[in-house]
Amino acid sequence: MNGMKYDPGLVLPVLHTLHEQNDFVIAFRTLLPAASGTESDYFILSSGNNKHHAYSYSSKAAGLVKLNLTDASLDLIWKTFMQNELFSIRDEKDIANFCAVKYHIYNSYTYEFLLLSKDRMKILSYYNPEYYDEACFGMAERRKIINSASVIQYIHPGEK
């Protein structure tokens, strides 16, 4: 996995135990504009010993809630993440991509993935990827982020 050395100070405290107990932890949220006044909930997938578990986390509830998803659903999410190369793609800001309509929208949402392995971490952040996928086509990484977020929304519709 590319990225940076694991830094516990950059990770939600609630993820520390999951990180210690698993080989990988992937946390996803849809960041909303600050003006919305709404905090984003997290969908979290942990993977260790060839078993996957899913959780949700809301700062309002201040706790991790284990989701009751089937093994087939968890495997589908994991396989989609692997097919879309979340551990190797780059963050949007690190990819040169000229687009004439790049700044035509403001105060939109951002898809954010936090990926943790035993000693590495990475944050993938993509601003309104569906809009830019149509307006500024040609960035394979953006399509991979959309696919990864879509499988979560398909399996666990409460996440958007």
The pLDDT value given to residue 132: 84
The 10 Å Cβ neighbour count of residue 12 is 16
CATH class of 4-155: alpha beta
The pLDDT value given to residue 78: 97
The pLDDT value given to residue 160: 46
Residues lower than pLDDT 70 in the chain: 34-37, 62, 100-104, 158-160
**So where are the chain's domains?**
4-155
The pLDDT value given to residue 125: 95
The pLDDT value given to residue 158: 66
The pLDDT value given to residue 105: 74
Hey, what long-range contacts does 52-55 have (CB within 8 A, 24 or more apart)? 52/77, 52/78, 54/156, 55/18
